[in-house]
Structure 1
Amino acid sequence: MWISIVSLFPEMFETVIKYGLINKSIKKKLLNISFWNPRNYMKNKFNKIDSTVYGGGGGVILKAEPLIETISKAKLEMKNNVKIIYLSPQGKKINISYIKKLLSYNKMIFLCGRYKGIDERIITNFVDEEVSIGDYILSGGELPAMILIDILVRQIPGVLNRISSNNTDSFFNNGLLGCPNYTRPRILKNLKENIVPKILLSGNHKKIKEWRLQQALGITWLKRPDLFKKKILTKKEKILFNKFKNSFLKKNNVMEYD
């Protein structure tokens, strides 16, 4: 995967690409990240890269001309089949289905806006898709770009040591949240809930798999009922979920009403 970042502040990405899976994917040559600063493509270096909006009102936006030049240079280097993604609060919210769609793109340009945004003519003439990470406003598109890269990198084959690791991640786990996980020591002193479930120590992989599925169903039901409602349960999943639900209601002395 090749991602080019168009940003006024490419230095913000320096730490991100030095550590973790992003750094690992770069070293393995599974990911190539290049940076393009529009300031470097201004015809007159003494001009401002931003300006007030036509029609009045507060704030400034990035000018079109340096962005056009920057995007053109980036596309020329990347050659064919490049998708331009604009990180914008007006864009489509990132979800799992959209991430899977992005994974089919080998070459992408992430356009990071600043201030109140960019000249609309850039969006209408160059941008293929607008993407949002949530209904709030940030100072620029750099942080959303970092988040999006981190999400994508986890799904690139060969980045994670084990394929099963991302298959069991929340949301990628058939639309469910992840199940509880435990590690050594088996017993933690002075805690009310301090023992690892016996099933995880049994060595019975079939039963462990069922337990994990049951927990994922139950936790999704409890924490994200909106996701659970969208899930079409198989016969086996219905049985496992009903056992979880009945146990939870009994344990918490809760009476269910239709």
Structure 2
Amino acid sequence: MHIDVLTLFPEMISGAFNSSIIKKAHEKEKFSYNLVNFREYADNKHQKVDDYPYGGGAGMVLTPQPVFDAVEAVTKEKALNPRIILMCPQGEPYNQKKAEELAKEDHLVFICGHYEGYDERIREHLVTDEISIGDFVLTGGELGAMVVVDSVVRLLPDVLGNEESAPEDSFSTGLLEHPHYTRPSDFRGMKVPEVLLSGHHANIVGWRKIESLKRTYERRKDLLDLQTLSDEDQKILNEFKNKNI
């Protein structure tokens, strides 16, 4: 996979690409990336990339020319159909399913805006996806883009140390992940559940499934409405509900 990030502030993003799992993935050539300051593509004397909105109103709007030219420059020698992603509050709410979808692509291009917004022609004629990481507004799209990049890169083959890590993550199964424990087994009187110390694999799997259902029921009931539950799962949920009556 190759990732291009179009931004007016590449320094905001470079640190994340040079840290932790993303850095290791890049060093192992699991993906490549390029940070592009699209101000360099402005065709005016002062490299201006924004202007006042037609019709009046507060703030400044990113003009289409620098963004179009920058995207065309980074895509002309890459895959024929890259995913061109606009980070914006009006976009599709981001989730794990979308991360898994994007992780199958060969080329992702992120457009990170600033100021009041984008010229609508960027949305209508350039991008393939609009993504929002939540119902709030940031000063720019850089932080949102890094959230998406991090969640996608970790899903690429051989990026995580354990191949079972990603499939068991919260949301990957449609449910929240079960609790985790490690040594010591008794910390200040707080003990690890006995089943995890038993070495009985089937019992551990069953416990984790019950705890995953319980945590989802307690914290994100909305996720359960999207699941096709087995009779056994529904029986477990009914027990949780009866205890809360």
Q: Is it true that 1:235 corresponds to 2:234 in the alignment?
A: no
* 1:113 aligned residue: 113
TM-superposed CA distance for 1:35, in Å, is 1.4
TM-superposed CA distance for 1:89, in Å, is 0.7
Q: Is it true that 1:180 corresponds to 2:179 in the alignment?
A: yes
5 Å-filtered alignment, 1:142-221, equals 142-172=142-172, 174-189=173-188, 194-221=190-217
* Structure 1 ranges of 4+ moved more than 6 A: none
Aligned AA for 2:163? I
What's the C-alpha RMSD, in Å, of the aligned pairs? 1.6
Q: Could you say which structure has the larger radius of gyration? A: 1
TM-superposed CA distance for 1:245, in Å, is 5.6
Separation (CA, whole Å) in 1 of partners of 2:150 and 2:164: 18
Q: Deviations over 1:90-136 (max 9, x none)?
A: 11111233222222321111011111112111211111111111111
Separation (CA, whole Å) in 2 of partners of 1:90 and 1:244: 37
Separation (CA, whole Å) in 1 of partners of 2:60 and 2:115: 6
Range 73-82 or range 30-39, more displaced: 73-82
C-alpha contact 1:7 1:37 (8 A) present in aligned 2: yes
Q: Deviations over 1:3-39 (max 9, x none)?
A: 1001001111111011111111111111111111111
* 2:13 aligned residue: 13
Separation (CA, whole Å) in 1 of partners of 2:16 and 2:200: 40
Q: TM-score, normalized by length of structure 2?
A: 0.94
Partner SS for 2:40: helix
C-alpha contact 2:16 2:22 (8 A) present in aligned 1: yes
Partner SS for 1:39: helix
Q: Where in structure 2 are there 5+ consecutive unaligned residues?
A: none
Q: How many residues align?
A: 245
C-alpha contact 2:5 2:36 (8 A) present in aligned 1: yes
Q: Where in structure 1 are there 5+ consecutive unaligned residues?
A: none
